[in-house]
Each structure stands twice: as C-alpha cells, then as structure tokens.
Structure 1
Amino acid sequence: MPCRQGVLGMTDALLYLSRDDIRALSIPPAAAREAVLQGFRDYATGLTRSLPKSTLTLGPGHGFQAMTAASSAQGIATVKWVAMAPVAAGSPLPAVSALICVSDYETGQPLAVLDGDEITLIRTAAISAAAASLLASANPRTIGFVGCGLQAHAHLAAFRDLFPGLTNALMLSRSRSSAERLAEAAGAAGLAADILDDADALLARSDIVISMVPGAAGMTPFLDARRLKPTALAVAVDTGRSWKPETLPAFNLLATDSLEQSRAPYGVDGNPVSTVAFQHDLIALAGAPHPTAAAGRSLFAFRGVAFADLALAHLAVAQARAQGLGTVLPR
C-alpha cells in the first residue's frame, strides 16, 4: 500500500509543547480543517489505523479515556490521555484535560509530548467545521452557540473561517459571563452578537447550531430539533446529550465521525438513544459528500476519533520544529 512520507523523523531528544507553545503556533483554522479531512481520508484508505475510544466512566461528565492511532502516511503513532470532570458554572477549571504522546511509526521511539487541551480544542472545532463543509448549506448567515466555554471560542474561529458570509452569532449559556465573553469575541470578528435566554428562539433563528453542554448530574435535555429551520445543521459536540431524544427524528440526516465507534447520539445517561440511529460517518463523507444533505435538517454528533488527534499533533509538531518552539528534553 502506498504511503506518504512523514515529516517528523527520528530524533534523540524529546520535544515538549506546552499550552502556550501550541497557542503560539497560531494554527490556521483552514490548515486544521484540511489536516482532519485528510486524516479521515487516510483512515478510509488504510494508511491510518485507530482503536475505538476506550472510556472508564465514573459518573455524569466524569471519567477517563485513551485514544490510540498510528499512521504510515504521517510516520507517527499517538495516544491521547483524557480526563473529564464536572465543573460548576463560572469555574475557571476546564471540564476536560489531556496530554498527547507522539512516537515514531517505524521505531516506536518517543518524539514529543503535547498539551492535549489546546490540541483537543483545535481538533474538535476542526472536525465540526469539516463536517459542516460537507453538510451545511452554502451560505449560512446565523450561527447559534449553546454553551459558551472554550470550545465555543474555538468553533467561532473555525466557522468564521469556513463561512466568511456569516453575519450573526447567537449565544445561550448557563453562565452569563461566558456568553458575554463569546459575544465580545464574535463582535471582534465582525458578527452581530445577541445573547438569548430562550433555546427555542435560538434554534428558530440559526442556520447552524453548535451544542457544547457539559455533562452534569441532574441535567435534562432541552433542545427540540423540531424548532430548527428546515435546512439547518446542528453540530452536537456534546454527543447529543442536550437534545430531547424524542425530537431527533425531525432530522433528515444523522451523521457521526465514525460508525465503528458510535451508532446513535448519546443521552444524558451516557448511553446511545433509541429514537434514531446514525446513517453516515465522516470517514465515508470525506471521500464522497452526501448530495442532498443541505436540503434538509442535518445532525452531526460525535465523540472524537484518535486519528484526528494524530493529524493535529503531526501538524503541531512539524510547525513547532519549523518555528523553533517548544522545550527539548533529554532522553
């Protein structure tokens, strides 16, 4: 099987990229989106291999995950260790914390350790944008954010880059201060921003809705798919927990990142819902886009795949070496 030559190569030293290092790279959203799309294409053709996400669940929004992938195309293998914990509204602590280890594909020698939080932010927004590039209508004007934390800011940048014709951003959050910060960022990006208190109003006005609601004990689904515009795209970064399961049949198309990993959106109990099932995944759509997706309501709900983290880790390490960023540690 043909393989593209990776650019990282073997080294006697270990490169550490901190959160600040990765932020300093300023990875362009378009580069992240294309890296992710290529990662899905490589997986489809067998150049990249990956294990389904392994999860140890301790409670609502609380657990640990391991995500492993290897790519002959990029010449690396990666594992991401993810910790999740519930956080109170307005807390400065992240709900997700992660590290990524990078090894040489051929020799297995460690090459780099990366802060996984920033990579996860970039990767997750890039997956959402990659899906939107294949499923959304051509000229959306209004984007709605349900949940206004760090992921919302990453998605704002990714979707503003993908759809420069966006004019309006709507925010709904349990934290007023988070919504105000996102509204300020949207305004700085040239969008008219409006903070709402009513979920139905946000759904009715948005061409694209991104739900990013963290899991928490006692959470009740509150988003009604029937309130969406007839041609809206919903991206459920929260895997679907914020959507009322009984309303999900209102979607004409339901897709995820990997059907091998997920067969249906997930409910508040962490289990797949029984009201609908996914019909497509990004592995197939990246090579053959759906011809009529933009003509109806679409849902893209996903848990994240290890080979997308690999794609972003490869991009980050290559750029860091080119720019001389990071800390070189002895082996």
Structure 2
Amino acid sequence: MSSSLLYLSRKDVRACAVTSREAREAVLRAFRDHAAGRNRSLPKSALTLGPGHAFQAMTAASEAQAVATVKWVASAPSLPGSTVPSVSALICVSDYATGAPLAILDGDEITLLRTAAMSAAAASLLAPEAPSTIGFVGCGLQAHAHLTAFHDLYPGLRTALMLSRSRSSAQRLAEAAAARGLTAEIVDEAGTLLARSDLIISMVPAVPGLRPFLDAQRMKPAAFAAAVDTGRSWLPEALRAFDVLATDSLAQSQAPYDVDGQPVTSVRFGHDLVALSQAPLADARTQRSLFCFRGFALADLALAHLVLEKARAAGIGISLPR
C-alpha cells in the first residue's frame, strides 16, 4: 500500500504549464486508444437536483497510461455577483494494475484544459481549413481557455466576436483577444455573431428562465460550432440546419440537450470522436458541423495523466501522508 499521496492544487496544475497542443494531442490519443480497446470508461453518472444543480462522477481506466481516474464534479446555478464558482471538481488518480491511490488533483483547471482541448480536437477534424473569425457566446473562464486553444490551433485567426449577458466579461475577453493580435468586437445580436463566424463556441450557463436563442440556420454554409453548454442555448427546431452532428461518445449521448437538460427530439448525433479520430469525414470541412458534448471521462484521464507526469518530472505538488 502506498504511504503517501501527491496533491496538486490549482496553482500546481497551472505550474505544470500544459500547452494547448499537448492537451489537444492527449485528448485525440485517448480517443484513439479507446477505439483500439486500450482504455475504458463509464458514462457520466449524475445526481440532478435542479436546473444547473447536480453532482457527477466520471470514471475511466487506461491500460496504455497505467492509471485509473474518477472526477467528482459539483455544479450549482451561479447568481449574478456571486464569487462562488458554478462548477467545482477534484480528480483522484489510482494505479491501473494495483489500484493504489497515487494522487489528488484540482479538477477545475484540468476541466478548463480538457474542455477547450476537446473542442479544439473536434475542430481539427471538422472545421473549415482556414477560419478567420471566431465567435464566443458566453465570455467566462471557458471562453478564455477556448481562445487560447483555438488561437494555437488556428494562428491565422483575425477576428474574435463576443456575445455575453455580462458586458464586463465580454470586455475582458475582448482585451485578451486583442492582446493576441486579434481584432475584437463585442456584439449585441446572436444572429450577427452566427452570420459572421467560421467558428462558434457556445458556453451559456444553466440559469433559471433561460430560453434557447441560437439559430443554426443563421450560420455560414461552412462553419463549425462547439456547444460546450451541451446545446441548451441552441433552438432545437433549427438543429436540422447542421449537416454533421457529432459528440464525444455515442455510448454516452445520442442527442444535444435542451434547456431542461433533456435530449432533444429534433435530431440525433451521427458521429463521435472515437470514430472521427480514426477516420475523419471527407467533406465535413465544407459543411455546417456541430460538436456537442457533456464531457468524457477518458479526456479527463488523459489530461490528469499528462499533468501528473509533468508534476513528477518538475517536483511540483505536496506529498500527503495516508
């Protein structure tokens, strides 16, 4: 039995300095390993208490990386002006062969890295070849993580559009985009953002009274959207405007989710990253594509393993007695 655990705080995870490319490649490798039978995971288990209020467990094990992980996620509606995060997470890492616990990691920072890496991984397989404009619907922490991930993937991006219920959040994201050399513009209409963007990232939080407002029919004929919000911000009846509908794992999700957290009945996913990582669609880049996902445990495992390896190599973290 191991006599100690490595604890990595949020600061420690950041100190590991995982790059966007490393994160994206780790995610794609996890999906390829899954297709080859080298790792396994369970669908996300959730105890839902109300809109945006839930406790979730995400479990995975990888023979290839010799670890097993479980991520514990708590989410609650974020009230205006609150300083309490709407989502909090921890990740427990165990040895694949012996089951001995190895580490406990802050899950918030890894979730940011993982989520943006998954969106970017999907875009690398589905999005137009040379996008110039990216639109952000929601301008919180995930938007900043996605800005980093997508600018790394597409250094030729020229314009970033922001739409948010919080003007201050939109302004902070605009400043971050401008610091990267992009022309940043805050817009007031969803239709304007959809019509002008080659890449669209929707990150609208679950709040009481939310009504869908994004109309896929307003998008360019060749464009990519990543619904980090599981689809709640998109008009269900307009989802048929997408030529390609993909998710992280068809074993976990069959359709986007509505504002009530229920699968929509208007469309179904036709593809997932497990298959796309092996055989990308030939014509997807000239069509409208939606990547909509709830989060996949194997992606969390991939990022946790990457962070743990970097931490060990650099002597980062605190050893705790058991």
Query: TM-score, with normalisation over the residues of structure 2?
Result: 0.99
Give a deviation string over 1:184-232, Cα, whole Å, max 9, x none.
1111111110011110000011000000001111110000000001101
Aligned equivalent of 2:15: 24
Q: Which one of the candidate residues 307, 311, 330 is aligned to 2:321?
A: 330
Aligned equivalent of 1:296: 287
Tell me which amino acid in the other structure corresponds to 2:287. Answer: G
Q: Distance in 1 between matches of 2:319 and 2:284?
A: 46
Instruction: Report whether the alignment pairs 1:309 with 2:300.
Output: yes
Contact 1:80 1:116 in 2 (8 A): yes
Contact 1:89 1:174 in 2 (8 A): no
Give a deviation string over 1:272-314, Cα, whole Å, max 9, x none.
0010000000000001111110111010000011010000000
Deviation at 1:90, TM superposition (A): 4.3
Unaligned runs of 5+ in 1: 1-9
Tell me which amino acid in the other structure corresponds to 1:157. Answer: T
Does the residue aligned with 1:315 lie in a helix, a strand or coil?
helix
Give a deviation string over 1:10-54, Cα, whole Å, max 9, x none.
964210000011111121000000000000011111110000000
Aligned residues: 322
Q: Which one of the candidate residues 194, 198, 201 is aligned to 1:203?
A: 194
Unaligned runs of 5+ in 2: none
Instruction: Report whether the alignment pairs 1:158 with 2:149.
Output: yes
Does the residue aligned with 2:226 lie in a helix, a strand or coil?
strand
Q: Distance in 2 between matches of 1:91 and 1:234?
A: 29
Contact 1:90 1:177 in 2 (8 A): no
After TM superposition, the structure 1 = structure 2 runs for residues 50-129 of structure 1, keeping only pairs within 5 Å, are: 50-129=41-120
Q: Distance in 2 between matches of 1:11 and 1:30?
A: 33
Contact 1:90 1:178 in 2 (8 A): no
Query: What is the percentage of aligned positions where both structures have the same residue?
Result: 70
Contact 1:90 1:175 in 2 (8 A): no
Query: TM-score, with normalisation over the residues of structure 1?
Result: 0.96
Aligned equivalent of 1:6: none
Q: Distance in 2 between matches of 1:228 and 1:90?
A: 33
Q: Distance in 2 between matches of 1:230 and 1:309?
A: 33
Does the residue aligned with 1:238 lie in a helix, a strand or coil?
coil
Aligned equivalent of 1:233: 224
Give a deviation string over 1:241-269, Cα, whole Å, max 9, x none.
00000100000010000000000000001
Contact 1:254 1:300 in 2 (8 A): yes
Q: CA RMSD in A?
A: 0.9
Instruction: Report whether the alignment pairs 1:262 with 2:258.
Output: no
Q: Distance in 2 between matches of 1:90 and 1:15?
A: 35
